[in-house]
Chain A
Amino acid sequence: MIKLNTNAQIPTSRRNMLKGSAIAGAAVLTGSLGAANQTPRPSPMPNIRMNGADLIPVQQREMAAAAPVDLSGLERVKQTLVRPPFAPAHEQVATQPPRIIEVELVVDERLMVVDEDTGASIWAMTYNGSVPGPLIIVHVGDYVELTLRSRASNQLEHNIDFHASTGALGGGALTHIYPGEETVLRWKATKPGVFTYHCAPGGAMIPYHVCHGMNGAVMVLPREGLKDGDGNALTYDDIAYIGEQDYYLPKNSDGSFKTYANAGDDYSESLDAMRTLTPTHSVFNGAVGALTGEKALHSEVGKTVLMIHNQANRDTRPHLIGGHGNYVWEAGSFSDAPQTGLETWFIRGGSAGAAMYTFEQPGVYAYVNHNLIEAALLGATAHFIVMGDWNNDLMEQVVAPHVSET
């Protein structure tokens, strides 16, 4: 840090210093890697221009000229966010007029184990310490008032882009914060559906942060709740909130995964791994096995679960092995009638989708990304353990396996 600063301009503020060191640090890493390999590839320098930051002055001018909005008549409610795969307490049908829902996200860069078996780990960038970030639930017409805070121990700049919001790069342009800072953003929920949110600091930093776990989902329910194609109400007993995360972890020459001392130390090598577009891991809720075994999801025959699947970066295709998607909002919009009776549904990278199912048989169900290579080898598997009585009408083993005559 000291050496880099002597080559750069004397920092006039902590913000400038952080920016300068990030740029110089990236250059140093790229240079030393090229030398070590003896075959420097002509890969372009990562673009770490802060797109959002450039827009701040324009945004501020427009905002200064805008008519003020009076929300003083609205009730304020604090929503306590909870760790995935769980959902915050909420009403399915709104019983109150539109409100201001206050939520807090704390940016926390932390070393997380991705796969215990191999010891693979990552300096994850998280909202509230989890991958994915917590699920936020509001109704159409509500306002989300977010306090975004970055721990002083963090290394990097962060912000947030809500796909459910309107304007200023989804709020990304108005929420750039540095370690130890906080900001407050309010946006109105106008579109019903499930939507991704993610960090988007600019340039190559956007996929770098998103592929380090910095994403999550917002559910904006219609005020009257969910409906089928005929307008009949659809309700659920539980929400299973699943964030699928593709990781691109740099490897040593013997195939083992590299480890790093600090968040950001893997920047250059991560970008090289990301350029392959081939993830080393694709996992649910941050790590291999995060939703299996003792951490499996639980339900009962006759209960209805709403499975919310978020993938901020890469296409995926959830499938419930042994069950179905009774009602599926594949692209996430609750303005559209749900599709019915699906076997597998498609979640586009950069979106969230929702599927509703009522369990009819007890047992164990695997919820997978039905690219089965990703499910079995890269980690994209969750399990539901469902209690209840077996229904022989739906399925029965007529003859158990035995020695065949032929």
Chain B
Amino acid sequence: MKRISTIRKTLSIGLGIGLVGGAIWAGWQLLAGPDLSLLPNMVSVARTDQANFYVQVDEVTVAQWNLCHAAGDCDLLLPTPNGDAAASYPATGVSFPDVQQYIAWLNKQTQHEFRLPSTQEWRDMAQEVMPEIPDPIFTDPQLSWASAYITESQISRRLLPTGSYATTAAGVRDLDGNVWEWTRDCYRGSSDPETLNRCPAFYVQGIHESVISYLVRDPARGGCAVGSPPAHLGLRLVSDDPLRP
């Protein structure tokens, strides 16, 4: 009996400490405000028919992503290629839900509104560094299912460090690299967007536009899939507002 009460007392003390600790943490969060150290480098980019918006200079890196994992808000822990510095490689192998976890965490921590770009916004920022679109290999309408097959030699699929590709005049890097970036635009075929409450696939953008099922982390080559799927899937965030100083 005595032992049980001791346990109960210990538990309640523990609970008390936990509550007090929690209150202190919450208070510290309020006092400390947003964690500005997490703000990424952004540049202002012109947009079709709208005011300028703000674009991350680089794709989110492995180091940035793993901070989210360390905080317990991103399920995925990303390895670094070849054991190199995590800060120098883009975060890849991430699905659409993974990306949403990262954005939710970053917005919570920084109290800023980051989001994925739309396909049009992505085209706006990338247009000047995009390669010419090769002619379709089939022109027969019956073969439209196969016409996007790309046989021209393109860039290597080997993942390279951040900053290995072109920089736009606005200062955005690696848009023409081998990491395809998730957009927020849903691909629904002929369906009316209003009739679906979930999106089965999203546009991803890189040196050619592609559509990827939301669950895919690695668009593996092969199987029945026709065409040249993206080499790697990553993300770059944008914002409608400039960063607070």
Binding site for B on A (CB under 8 A): 113, 116-117, 119, 252, 254-256, 259, 288-289, 292-294, 296, 321, 362-364, 366, 368, 372, 375-377, 379-381, 383, 385, 387, 389-390, 392, 396-397, 400-403
The answer to whether A376 touches B190 (Cβ under 8 A) is no
**Total A-B residue contacts, Cβ distance less than 8 Å:** 102
The answer to whether B143 touches A390 (Cβ under 8 A) is yes
The answer to whether B150 touches A119 (Cβ under 8 A) is no
What residue in chain A is nearest B191 (Cβ atoms)?
A403
Residues of B within 8 A of A400 (CB): 190
| A interface SS class | loop
- A sample of 8 inter-chain contacts (CB < 8 A) reads A113-B158, A254-B80, A256-B81, A294-B154, A296-B149, A366-B224, A385-B151, A397-B142
Contact of B222 among A116, A366, A385, A397 (CB under 8 A): A366
CA distance A268 to B25 in the complex (A): 51
The answer to whether A403 touches B222 (Cβ under 8 A) is no
CA distance A292 to B151 in the complex (A): 8
CB distance from A121 to the nearest CB of B (A): 10
Residues of A within 8 A of B184 (CB): none
Binding site for A on B (CB under 8 A): 79-83, 137-138, 140, 142-143, 145-146, 149-154, 156-159, 189-192, 195, 218, 220-226, 228, 231-232
The answer to whether B151 touches A376 (Cβ under 8 A) is no
The answer to whether A362 touches B138 (Cβ under 8 A) is yes
CA distance A294 to B157 in the complex (A): 13
What residue in chain A is nearest B192 (Cβ atoms)?
A403
Residues of A within 8 A of B151 (CB): 293-294, 296, 385
Residues of A within 8 A of B220 (CB): 376-377
CB distance from B41 to the nearest CB of A (A): 27
Residues of A within 8 A of B158 (CB): 113, 116-117, 119
CA distance A402 to B191 in the complex (A): 7
Residues of B within 8 A of A366 (CB): 222-226
What residue in chain A is nearest B140 (Cβ atoms)?
A390
CA distance A20 to B80 in the complex (A): 39
Residues of B within 8 A of A403 (CB): 190-192, 195
The answer to whether A381 touches B149 (Cβ under 8 A) is no
The answer to whether B221 touches A364 (Cβ under 8 A) is no
The answer to whether A293 touches B223 (Cβ under 8 A) is no
